[in-house]
Structure 1
Amino acid sequence: MRRAARNDGGSGPGGTPSMFSNSIKRKIMGIALALIVLMALTSVLSLVMVRQVGARFDELTSSHVPAYGSLGRAHVRSLERALALRRMVIETFRPDMEPQRAEDTRKVFVAKGQEVEREVAAARAAMAGLIASSERVEDQKAFVRLDSRLESLMSGSRHLLTEEIARLLAALEAKDKARVADSLSRVDRLRDDVNGEFEDIRTDMLALLTVDSAAAMQTQQQVMLIAAVLTLLAAALGVVFSTLVSDGVTSPVRRLLDGARAVEAGRLDHEIAVTTHDEIGDLTKAFNRMVEQLRLKERILDTFGHYVDPRVVQGLIDRPSLAVDGQRRVMTILFCDVAGFTAASERMTPQGLVKILNSYFSTMSAPIRENDGILDKYIGDAIMAYWGPPFNDAAAQERLACLAALAMLDRLDDLRASFPELIGVRTAPISFDLRIGVATGEALVGSIGSEQMMNYTVIGDTVNLASRLEGACKHYGVRALISEATARAAADVVETREIDLVAVAGAEKTERIFEIMGRKDTLSEPRRALRKAFGEGLAFYRAGDWTAARTAFSEALAAAPDDGPTRVFLRRLDELETAPAQEGWNGAWRFAEK
């Protein structure tokens, strides 16, 4: 769209006089000063006060009432959830307990908890709209306080209640009446705290709603009174000035509307000529400044998007608190590395090495982005990425990470095939394979670094576990290993098999680790046979039955002669037969090296 030239004078494009040109002013002044003052009062007062009334009623109908309604429903759902929990306890200890009825009660309990979350989220969304749109600082502060209290309620008292309910459910599973009674009393106290906080927030919200409603009604009455007094005089003047007003107001408004539509369509090269010295002129100037800022923001995103994941850049711009707030969240971390790349790269020219690395990073980064992952960094020939809030739905992060890992492995053959042409030789002098590790768990998310340079990243034991799993792929001769938490959450999209119980280097806790075998319901018959036989061998191995374990692992090797994990366990069995396991052995394998 062509950029229009700025014009701060009194004439419009092409030199056409605006409604405020000198000739128009002379005509207006010729009518009578008294009529001009009356018309100005009518127009200004009516416009300002009607807009105030409209804005207030709009806030009441679109945000105040829905927010209060969502809070009320959340409170009711919380009470219904408590009732469902009581029914669960009663059903569990009834002499004639029916499993189906107990399960139905549990489903109601879970559903009510989810409804509480949804209603609170809806209330907070409405409050966020009120905070952003309200022109009154007092109202903004009040809603900020309410939103903070609601957030504190969900992350504080209700979180403690949820944890205590989890312990109560565990006691119910064990049918431990003493533990249930003790936990139930704590649940009651915590629930009373939650209900009390809900009630206080609703009361304060209702008070705000009442005050704003009264203010809106009072403003409406003032508008009606002033309109009744001035309507007769303004009506006579309206005919005279309608043409002038329509030409002078609607033309720049139309230009603003056209400009807004251009911005909505993504065309940021549009600048509107300023043709008046009134509020519309100021609005036009503000619009032009806004477009300039949008162009600047677009350039920033485009530039830094090549160095930092665009969603991180966008998040830091839209929510500066991300740059300073560190939070512990459940995240899913992925590490990808090239097997044997360091030794092979020594035989390549620097130019060829750079071309292969760039092609590798581009090819393997694409599946991460396509599955909504955040590319954190490149470390040598390794890639680190992560999934989780605030960039992903917490319930989907494990599935997305596993699907990304499979997509990376799917592109490996095409990547290898492109190397000879890429570096201009018939055979690329590199043995190229991938190792991928994925782990899910609690991690610290936030800006890490110094005053001079920061990096928005994730750190913690989960990150270390993902890195160690990537390294463990070499030991087992597989391409992708994932943690138990990842495998459990992604079970509906990928096929896995348990590989081992290990303690990675630097960790005391043992972890069950799994191999990604393929997408859900895509395994061939030999691969299913391998998983079945390997699983049986693993069970015998942990039970200390070396003979049965060797038989099962031999069946697994027959189904897949090149299976690395099977060969690893057969070698272990050879060692265990010559050097028996110590007392208390549980089948766990400890890695001494990273």
Structure 2
Amino acid sequence: MPIFNQSIRRKIVGIALGLIVLMLVTAILSMVMSSQVGVLLDELTNRYIPAYSHLARANIRSLERGLALRRMVMTRMEAPSDEEAYAARLRDFEASDRKIEEEAEAARKLINAIIDDPRTYSDNAALGRIDIRIETAVAELRRDLSEDHAKLLKQVDARQMTEARGTLEHIDVLRDQFNRKIDAIRADMLTQVFFSTSQVISRQHQAIIISGIVTLLAAIVGFVFALLVSSGITRPVRLLLAGTREVEAGRFDKPITVSTQDEIGELAAAFNRMIEQLRQNERIRETFGRYIDPKVVQGLIDRPEVAIDGERRVMTIMFCDMSGFTSMSEGMTPRGLVKVMNHYFTVMSAPIRSNRGVIDKYIGDAIMAYWGPPFIEEDEQALLAGLAAVEMADQVPALQKQLPDLLGIRAMPAPCDLRIGIATGEVLTGSIGSELMMSFTVMGDAVNLASRLEAVNKVYGTRILISQATADAIGSRLELREIDRLAVAGQSAPQAIFEVMARPGALTDAQASLRTHYAEGLAAYRARRFDEARAAFNAALEAMPGDGPSRAMLGRITQFAPNPPDANWDGAWRLEQK
């Protein structure tokens, strides 16, 4: 720890500062959790409950419309007929008729707002079905009643009261059917309201419990921290005494651990320098091999000019990131988090190495790797990167089961998954850094694009996204699905992006149906035939419920409803954020 590398006086000051930091962390965590509860509560009060209220009013509007219809008929039946009163009744009927659709549309907007809000967890599949059922019920009501209303008005005008009474009874039957559908939808929506309420209550209880645990943990950590720092003052003295006895006995293979840089630490460092030189070469070789891929080391030995001058090559770059890492890390101890991350990196690095990839670096919870000459042939790199990504995705179910056992808990604080972005293009390879420390790495647009594609997985709900160049290089050697034409942040020209679905010939019937319907929807979407696109994407969701790209495209079509794109629209989507 850095505090051990200070003078004794600064160590004491460091103890006080550490305790203050722990207090601030506890306070910030409490505020963050309170904010999360506020977001859930806001959604419950401003979306769930109003949506249910709109559905309830739709029932009332249906009854009002039936009453207005009867009043209109009774006015026409009066002798002599009052045309002005009849016109007024007709306007009342038409107004009540429009209000049903207005209430249904208002409910649908709120439901879609819940689905589109990424800040809160909700049963989006159930809400999506409710949205479709509302739309279907209103459409069927409009379709079935239009002809009957016209027929009734003709019968009333012709004074055919017997036939008019039969038509009116049929209209009542249709209205009752509509009311029963809305009642069923309201019941399902009420279930969602109760679910959201339970989420708020659960999150409140969780915030209280976690705040208490974190406060207690901060107190324990603060005490342990102070104990460690105080013991760190006397520990180097004991180690130096033990090392001196080892030297006195003629054993020079046990250096002293230098944990401070005060006067005692300097004395211990001088003592270590006397015996460290004997094993220096072996230790450097072991350490170097753990931090830099052996293939890179050998390549730099064979061609050292590449590290100095750099070289341009076509390579395939991969970025892999653990989703839910922030939420997961907040609920874990530092020791548990290190254990989880080490296991995660071990599991996810194996497919990269087995497919001849080079791991460039670990960045937080992310992995950056690349494929390309001179380590592999250029025509193999995209396929090997795709195969590595598929194997990494195959490891996720086992990893999700292993992590709780690794920590000795029943379930992880937050679900873990991974997002992978792969891009192929020309990059610069060489050693980058300062005069004191260098790193052999790759740089270029392909690196930036791979990083952006990894993040874009969050938009589409996918795991593996690849660029157009990578997809062209892979061809039919993997099962791919075109997702969209996209211009990521920092890129002006859009390009097609693809999802890696499976190894060749490994698609299930549901996946094959999903890909077919999605391709139909994507073609209709780009041709601005949004009704056809909506139907195709809904068919894709029926084949594979919860498919992220289909839901994303349906949400986008909903956004286009009030503001359709221009006539010269190229069908591409542009992301302004990284």
TM-score (norm 1): 0.49
1:420 Cα deviation after fit: 1.6
Q: 1:547 to 1:431 in 2, by over 3 A?
A: same
SS for the counterpart of 2:291 is: coil
Q: State the alpha-carbon separation in 2 of the partners of residues 301 and 543 from structure 1.
A: 60
1:446 aligned onto 2:443: no
Matches within 5 A, 1:332-371: 332-371=316-355
1:535 aligned onto 2:519: yes
AA at the equivalent of 1:506: G
8 Å CA contact 1:331, 1:388 repeated in 2: yes
Matches within 5 A, 1:88-237: none
1:297 Cα deviation after fit: 8.6
Aligned to 1:475: 459
Please list every run of 5 or more consecutive structure 1 residues that lacks an aligned counterpart in the other structure: 1-294
1:493 Cα deviation after fit: 2.6
Comparing 351-360 with 545-554, greater Cα deviation is found at 545-554
SS for the counterpart of 2:377 is: coil
1:555 aligned onto 2:539: yes
1:509 Cα deviation after fit: 1.7
1:318 Cα deviation after fit: 2.4
Determine which of 468, 471, 481 is the counterpart of 1:497: 481
Q: State the alpha-carbon separation in 2 of the partners of residues 435 and 389 from structure 1.
A: 25
1:568 aligned onto 2:570: no
AA at the equivalent of 1:569: M
Identity %: 57
Q: State the alpha-carbon separation in 1 of the partners of residues 432 and 404 from structure 2.
A: 40
1:384 aligned onto 2:368: yes
1:472 Cα deviation after fit: 0.4
Q: State the alpha-carbon separation in 1 of the partners of residues 427 and 412 from structure 2.
A: 39
8 Å CA contact 2:328, 2:412 repeated in 1: no
Determine which of 279, 284, 290 is the counterpart of 1:306: 290
Determine which of 378, 391, 395 is the counterpart of 1:407: 391
1:590 Cα deviation after fit: 0.6
Aligned residues: 300
1:296 Cα deviation after fit: 9.7
Aligned to 2:562: 578
1:325 Cα deviation after fit: 2.4
1:423 Cα deviation after fit: 1.2
Q: State the alpha-carbon separation in 1 of the partners of residues 572 and 542 from structure 2.
A: 25
AA at the equivalent of 2:551: R
8 Å CA contact 2:478, 2:503 repeated in 1: yes
Q: State the alpha-carbon separation in 2 of the partners of residues 535 and 484 from structure 1.
A: 16
Q: State the alpha-carbon separation in 2 of the partners of residues 543 and 453 from structure 1.
A: 54
Determine which of 416, 421, 424 is the counterpart of 2:400: 416
Determine which of 500, 509, 517 is the counterpart of 1:525: 509
SS for the counterpart of 1:306 is: helix
Q: State the alpha-carbon separation in 2 of the partners of residues 591 and 473 from structure 1.
A: 12
Matches within 5 A, 1:314-333: 314-333=298-317
Q: State the alpha-carbon separation in 1 of the partners of residues 511 and 288 from structure 2.
A: 44
Q: State the alpha-carbon separation in 2 of the partners of residues 355 and 493 from structure 1.
A: 36
Q: State the alpha-carbon separation in 2 of the partners of residues 346 and 551 from structure 1.
A: 41
Aligned to 1:78: none
1:491 Cα deviation after fit: 2.4
AA at the equivalent of 1:388: G
AA at the equivalent of 2:299: G
8 Å CA contact 1:438, 1:483 repeated in 2: yes
8 Å CA contact 1:301, 1:313 repeated in 2: no
1:536 Cα deviation after fit: 0.8
Q: 1:532 to 1:297 in 2, by over 3 A?
A: farther
Q: 1:297 to 1:313 in 2, by over 3 A?
A: farther
Aligned to 1:427: 411
Q: State the alpha-carbon separation in 1 of the partners of residues 557 and 400 from structure 2.
A: 36
Determine which of 441, 445, 450 is the counterpart of 1:466: 450
Q: 1:391 to 1:342 in 2, by over 3 A?
A: same
Q: 1:509 to 1:382 in 2, by over 3 A?
A: same
Q: 1:590 to 1:402 in 2, by over 3 A?
A: same
AA at the equivalent of 1:518: A
Q: 1:298 to 1:518 in 2, by over 3 A?
A: farther
AA at the equivalent of 1:408: M
8 Å CA contact 1:301, 1:310 repeated in 2: no
Q: 1:323 to 1:297 in 2, by over 3 A?
A: farther
8 Å CA contact 1:301, 1:314 repeated in 2: no
8 Å CA contact 1:334, 1:439 repeated in 2: yes
AA at the equivalent of 1:363: V
Q: 1:354 to 1:479 in 2, by over 3 A?
A: same
1:434 Cα deviation after fit: 0.4
Q: State the alpha-carbon separation in 2 of the partners of residues 427 and 499 from structure 1.
A: 33
AA at the equivalent of 2:465: L
1:395 aligned onto 2:379: yes
Q: State the alpha-carbon separation in 2 of the partners of residues 492 and 565 from structure 1.
A: 21
Q: State the alpha-carbon separation in 2 of the partners of residues 458 and 351 from structure 1.
A: 32
AA at the equivalent of 1:510: P
AA at the equivalent of 2:508: S
AA at the equivalent of 1:361: F
8 Å CA contact 2:327, 2:413 repeated in 1: no
Aligned to 1:593: 577
SS for the counterpart of 1:578 is: coil
SS for the counterpart of 2:442 is: strand
Determine which of 468, 471, 481 is the counterpart of 1:487: 471
1:550 Cα deviation after fit: 1.3
Q: 1:401 to 1:574 in 2, by over 3 A?
A: same
Q: State the alpha-carbon separation in 2 of the partners of residues 470 and 550 from structure 1.
A: 26
8 Å CA contact 1:335, 1:383 repeated in 2: yes
Q: State the alpha-carbon separation in 1 of the partners of residues 397 and 545 from structure 2.
A: 21
Deviations 1:519-543 (A, max 9, x none): 0011011111110110011011101
AA at the equivalent of 1:426: R
SS for the counterpart of 1:402 is: helix
Q: 1:454 to 1:559 in 2, by over 3 A?
A: same
SS for the counterpart of 1:496 is: strand
Aligned to 2:528: 544
Deviations 1:12-35 (A, max 9, x none): xxxxxxxxxxxxxxxxxxxxxxxx
Q: Extract structure 1 runs of 4+ deviating beyond 6 A.
A: 295-299
Q: State the alpha-carbon separation in 2 of the partners of residues 297 and 471 from structure 1.
A: 42
Q: State the alpha-carbon separation in 2 of the partners of residues 298 and 530 from structure 1.
A: 56
Q: State the alpha-carbon separation in 1 of the partners of residues 288 and 298 from structure 2.
A: 10
Deviations 1:246-301 (A, max 9, x none): xxxxxxxxxxxxxxxxxxxxxxxxxxxxxxxxxxxxxxxxxxxxxxxxx9998755
RMSD: 1.6
Deviations 1:522-581 (A, max 9, x none): 101111111011001101110111121112112111111110000111111111121110
Comparing 582-591 with 393-402, greater Cα deviation is found at 582-591
1:497 Cα deviation after fit: 0.4
AA at the equivalent of 1:564: G
Q: State the alpha-carbon separation in 1 of the partners of residues 417 and 282 from structure 2.
A: 38
